[in-house]
Amino acid sequence: MTRYVFITGGVVSSLGKGIAAASLASLFKLRGFKVSLQKLDPYINLDPGTMSPIQHGEVFVTDDGAETDLDLGHYERFVGIRMTQDSNVTAGRVYSNVINKERKGEYLGSTVQVIPHITDEIKKLIIKGSKKSDIAFVEIGGTVGDIESLPFLESIRQFSLELGKSRAMFVHLTLLPYIEVTNEIKTKPTQHSVKELRSIGIQPDVLLCRGKNPINQKLKKKLALFTNVPETAVFSAVDAESIYDIPILFRDQKIDEFMLKQFKLKSKRLNLSPWNNYRSKAGKCKKTVKIAMIGKYVDLADSYKSLNEALYHAGIINNRLVEITYLDSEQITKASVKKLKVMDGILVPGGFGNRGIEGKILAAQYARVNKIPYLGICLGMQISVIEFARNVLKLKNANSTEFNSKTKHPVVALVDEWKDNSGKKIISDKKNMGGTMRLGSQDCTLSKDSLAYKMYEKLAINERHRHRYEVNDSLLELFNDSQLKFSGRSKKGNLMEIVELKGHPWYLGCQFHPEFTSSPISGHPLFNGFIAASKKKRKL
């Protein structure tokens, strides 16, 4: 029988509900429970795939190819379980399912309404997303009080009534602002936010109070009085030095024990050693390594969330703190690219569209010529192929058809556009491509004599994709006798997955996104290797 923990947020957005949910779930996983995590997002988009990373942060891709909210990345990193298509539900998806059913006549002539049809659909999707887990953690996106959250909150209210208190719990994450001039922590916004929840029939069982410092007993008492939450269920969620300290900070307050009691669950002993080990390793990192990230969405750190985390993980594994300098690729010129000299490693991340492409090409060239470790991800790999074709093979106009559809040397193109040497035959692989994205985890085979093999220490790997364009298989001959080697290919052998440069200390581009599968405990082979090489460069 699955127990459900519903996590809502109050007062302001961006309080870290995803990290709180992931941290709680981690504690139960480490007690031997089967846990699941799910994010319900109240916006109308079917998924965040079409949203700008500057507005919404990165799009996280699952093994089965779902384009999802970045919180799912936290879930995977903290808990080590794989998210699926069912792990992220948007209002758009709910409404679309209901409208499809209505068109099929499944509602037998009734008027289709928010209650019960939309709420029933939400409940069904929650059950689908909790897949036989012992404890399901369900995070409701947005902030209590938003109009669009209402059907979701109503659904979880009904759900808890149907299951009873021993099987459903409401955790409310809220902010306690600190007023500096009077040296006071204020509870009023939390009182209002809980009042809002109670007015729609939800009484929180647990309050998690965000703030700079832990709250004292007096404040807990006051909050309890005004929110009808027992004093023993009011916990602090303080700003932590690292997000990976949060499971330990929750555990120190015995939140997990409180929840076990309400759920009337017996549990094995908690094994906190993964987090304790991580913490002690992180605490020892003093020296730094400098990485330049040449991106387009540099104004919002969340745009590259998984990348930042993967670099940070690899740093801890290499006993280094990674200092990331975000550089806007549009600002990089022939003159300014020389500033990259002080960097220990250069990373060109994924991206879409024309803007800033030339700056990225300059950065990749600088890394190649000056032997600075280079990691190109997705677009970053395509950039390194274009750069090499232009500057080493002297094909001045080499490009991707994404940026110049009429280029004479389309070294990167849609699979549909690949032509053979005579320029006539069009190779088509509609199943994988055809104007839509290649998404999700796919197999890749590595060459034995390669940097990639050295990093992964195995020949068969699988990694997650999110892109439309590919290295042009029909122009591969151009690279035959060059230093640029394609060391990873798709199972069929026609799609280039990894490119590397012979005679360079560490230069690798991958068509997939390794950042999605990096974990704080073991990092990811490519990031671990990239940071190790950058560390070496620093010593030179």
Q: How far is the CB of 352 from ligand GLN (least distance, A)?
A: 4
Q: Is 467 a catalytic residue?
A: no
Q: Which residues pair with 90 in a beta bridge?
A: 41
Strands (E), 85-226: 88-90, 135-140, 168-175, 178-179, 184-185, 206-211
Q: Which two tokens stand for residue 117?
A: 């049809």
Distances from the Cα of 245 to the Cα of 19, 135, 233, 279, 461, angstroms: 11, 22, 21, 7, 31
DSSP helix/strand/coil, 312: helix
Of the candidate residues 469, 479, 506, 507, the single one contacting ligand GLN (CB under 6 A): 469
Of the candidate residues 128, 131, 468, 538, the single one contacting ligand GLN (CB under 6 A): 468
Q: How far is the CB of 438 from ligand GLN (least distance, A)?
A: 8
Distances from the Cα of 515 to the Cα of 109, 291, 314, 349, angstroms: 49, 15, 11, 10
What residues from 427 to 456 belong to the interface with ligand GLN (CB under 6 A)? none
Q: Which range in 211-219, 224-232, 348-356, 492-500 contacts ligand GLN by CB under 6 A?
A: 348-356
Which residue's CB is nearer to ligand GLN, number 68 or number 149? 68
Residue of 74, 172, 504, 513 marked catalytic: 513
Strands (E), 94-147: 135-140
Q: How far is the CB of 513 from ligand GLN (least distance, A)?
A: 7
Under the binding rule (CB under 6 A), the answer on residue 352 touching ligand GLN is yes
Q: How far is the CB of 61 from ligand GLN (least distance, A)?
A: 9
Q: Which two tokens stand for residue 395?
A: 């094909």
Which residue's CB is nearer to ligand GLN, number 324 or number 413? 413
Q: How far is the CB of 9 from ligand GLN (least distance, A)?
A: 29
Which residue's CB is nearer to ligand GLN, number 466 or number 504? 466
Under the binding rule (CB under 6 A), the answer on residue 466 touching ligand GLN is yes
Q: Which of 359, 384, 389 is nearest to 374 (CA)?
A: 384
Contact call for residues 359 and 330 (beta carbons, < 8 A): yes
Q: How far is the CB of 439 from ligand GLN (least distance, A)?
A: 10
Compute the distance between CA of residue 312 and CA of residue 146 in angstroms, rounded to an integer: 34
Degrees (nearest 5) of the Cα angle 14, 18, 21? 135
DSSP helix/strand/coil, 108: coil
Number of residues that bind ligand GLN (CB under 6 A): 10
Q: Which range in 61-69, 190-198, 216-224, 346-354 contacts ligand GLN by CB under 6 A?
A: 346-354
Q: Which range in 184-192, 243-251, 344-352, 387-395 contacts ligand GLN by CB under 6 A?
A: 344-352
What residues from 360 to 419 belong to the interface with ligand GLN (CB under 6 A)? 378-379, 402
Q: Which range in 61-69, 249-257, 270-278, 350-358 contacts ligand GLN by CB under 6 A?
A: 350-358
Q: How far is the CB of 512 from ligand GLN (least distance, A)?
A: 9
Which residue's CB is nearer to ligand GLN, number 90 or number 472? 472
Which residue's CB is nearer to ligand GLN, number 93 or number 467? 467
Compute the distance between CA of residue 497 and CA of residue 511 in angstroms, rounded to an integer: 5
Pairing of the two strands 374-377 and 507-510 = parallel
Cα distance between the two ends of the chain: 59
Residue of 378, 497, 504, 510 marked catalytic: 378
Q: How far is the CB of 486 from ligand GLN (least distance, A)?
A: 16
Query: Would you tell me the crossing angle of helices 357-369 and 379-391 to the nearest 10 degrees?
Result: 70
The single-letter DSSP state of residue 319 is: T
Which residue's CB is nearer to ligand GLN, number 390 or number 465? 465
Q: Which range in 131-139, 235-243, 463-471, 527-535 contacts ligand GLN by CB under 6 A?
A: 463-471
Q: Is 378 a catalytic residue?
A: yes
Compute the distance between CA of residue 26 and CA of residue 13 in angstroms, rounded to an integer: 23
Q: Which of 515, 513, 478, 481 is nearest to 497 (CA)?
A: 513
Q: Which two tokens stand for residue 28?
A: 């139960």
Q: Count of CB atoms within 10 A of residue 116's CB? A: 14
Which residue's CB is nearer to ligand GLN, number 226 or number 352? 352
Compute the distance between CA of residue 529 and CA of residue 236 in angstroms, rounded to an integer: 38
Q: How far is the CB of 403 from ligand GLN (least distance, A)?
A: 9
Under the binding rule (CB under 6 A), the answer on residue 351 touching ligand GLN is yes
3-state per-residue secondary structure call for 383-422: HHHHHHHHHCCCCCCCEECCCCCCCCCEEEECHHHCECCC
Question: Count of H helices and E strands in the chain?
Answer: 16, 23
Which residue's CB is nearer to ligand GLN, number 305 or number 467? 467
- Determine the residue with CB nearest ligand GLN: 350
Under the binding rule (CB under 6 A), the answer on residue 350 touching ligand GLN is yes
Which residue's CB is nearer to ligand GLN, number 154 or number 500? 500
Q: Which of 320, 323, 329 is nearest to 297 (CA)?
A: 329
Residue type for 509, please?
G
Residue of 76, 139, 154, 515 marked catalytic: 515
Convert residues 261-300 into a mask of x (bound to ligand GLN by CB under 6 A) and - (unbound).
----------------------------------------
What residues from 92 to 111 belong to the interface with ligand GLN (CB under 6 A)? none
Q: Which range in 259-267, 293-301, 442-450, 465-473 contacts ligand GLN by CB under 6 A?
A: 465-473
Backbone angles phi and psi of 441, in degrees to 5: -80, 135
Binding site for ligand GLN (CB under 6 A): 350-352, 378-379, 402, 466-469
* Catalytic positions: 378, 513, 515
